[in-house]
Structure 1
Amino acid sequence: MGCAISGLGLTPRQVTESRGEEEHLTEEQIDMIKVSWKVIQEDIAKVGIIMFVRLFETHPECKDVFFLFRDVEDLERLRTSKELRAHGLRVMSFIEKSVARLDQLERLDMLAVELGKSHYRYNAPPKYYGYVGTEFICAVRPILKEKWTPELEKAWKTLFQYITRLMRQGYLEEEGTKRTHALVPTKERPDKKNTAL
């Protein structure tokens, strides 16, 4: 069950860190993503399941991040898992929110950074984020059929690279905050009870 792009172009190491060097979505790419999303939405649950089953097939180490799926070896059982369906829908909901915010990048930035922060709390490191974009693209290509073009693929890749970079930023910010907090002796930490003036 291979995909020609599996592992290509979306790993966080390959995403540039500097805002000045990163690739931005053009208006045409944003329009292409929005139009294709309308078709993808019709099979949103199916895409979420396919995406995660493929993720666990191609990168079995990713299962370690998911407590509920860590010990599941039977991929057929995963396909029918209510928990996997629910998680797939949450991820697809995030993608939907991202597409809706393509014209409001500040809001998209905040959304992706917050998601990265929450992934720190879930102990889901950035090295896995890019895989999701790759598997999403592999899952939606057959759904879009002849509507799938190299230009559309490039647009989705660019969006996922952008989101991945911001999620990584959020993860690292949260990690830094937790490390700093851990270094401050308990006596010096602000006591929430005694902060009133």
Structure 2
Amino acid sequence: MTTQQIALVKSTWSEMIVLEQDPGIYFYDKLFSIDPSLKALFRIDMTEQARKFIEMITYVTFKLDRFDEVLQDAIDLGKRHHQYNVPTGAYKTVLVALIATLKENLHDEWNDDAESAWKLAYGKLTHAMITGNKD
């Protein structure tokens, strides 16, 4: 990822986490509307799950320029997803829900450059997670 792409991901995420509506709840609502079968994978309160999702995305987003520092965490997250029986195909569905969440909440701040940057960032994260998911 270029420095500009990383800055774009960081700036758009900074806008997301200060929205009045909880972006984590919005994301999971979107995810389950796309694939309701994924809801069965979650055994904890969705408010808690949404909080964890926001924390994880925030953590990775602000370390994109030092991704090697979070690489093992991403692999470990993939291992946990494997234990939870998360199908590898769900990562694509999550991407669709994440992009929709960003686009629908950021309005004028969202554009093709932002979408491309987010897809690259998500690709880095999921590559590491899928590596862990296969272990």
Q: Do the structures match in fold with TM over 0.5? A: yes
Provide closer, same or farther for how the CA distance between residues 114 and 45 of structure 1 changes in structure 2, counting only shifts above 3 A. farther
1:143 to 105, 114, 126: 105
Alpha-carbon spacing, 1:45–1:94, altered in 2? closer, same or farther (3 Å): farther
Q: Equivalent residues in 2 for 1:90-105 (5 A)?
A: 90-105=52-67
Alpha-carbon displacement from aligned partner over 1:91-123 (angstroms, at most 9, x marks no partner):
111100101211212112112111101111222
Structure 2 counterpart of 1:168, one-letter code: I
Identical columns (%): 26
Please, which of 62, 65, 74 is the counterpart of residue 112 of structure 1? 74
Contact 1:45–1:89 under 8 Å retained in 2? no
CA contact (8 A) 2:60 2:67 kept: no
Instruction: Report the TM-score, using the length of structure 2 for normalisation.
Output: 0.91
Please say if residues 44 and 92 of structure 1, whose CA atoms lie closer than 8 Å, have aligned partners that are also in contact.
Answer: no
- 1:14-67 Cα shifts (integer Å, max 9, x gaps): xxxxxxxxxxx1111001111111111103862111111111111112123224
Q: Are residues 1:84 and 2:46 paired? A: yes
**Segments of 4+ in structure 1 off by > 2 A?**
none
2:95 and 2:122 in contact (8 A); partners too: yes
Question: 2:29 maps to which residue?
Answer: 53
Instruction: Give how far 1:148 is off.
Output: 0.6
Count of matched residue positions in the alignment of Structure 1 and Structure 2: 135
Identify the structure with bigger relative contact order (alpha carbons < 8 Å, sequence gap 6+): 2
Task: Say if 2:130 is the partner of 1:154.
Answer: no
Alignment partner of 2:134 out of 162, 172, 175: 172
| Residue ranges of structure 2 left out of the alignment (5+ in a row) | none
Letter in 2 for 1:156: W
Q: Which has the larger radius of gyration?
A: 1
Report the Cα distance in structure 2 between the residues aligned to 1:53 and 1:136, rounded to whole angstroms.
11
**Aligned residue among 58, 83, 92 for 1:130:** 92
Amino acid of the structure 2 residue aligned with 1:35: S
Looking at structure 1, the residues matched to 82 and 20 of structure 2 have their Cα atoms a distance apart, in angstroms, of: 26
- Contiguous gaps of at least 5 residues in structure 1: 1-24, 69-82, 174-197
**Corresponding position of 2:12:** 36
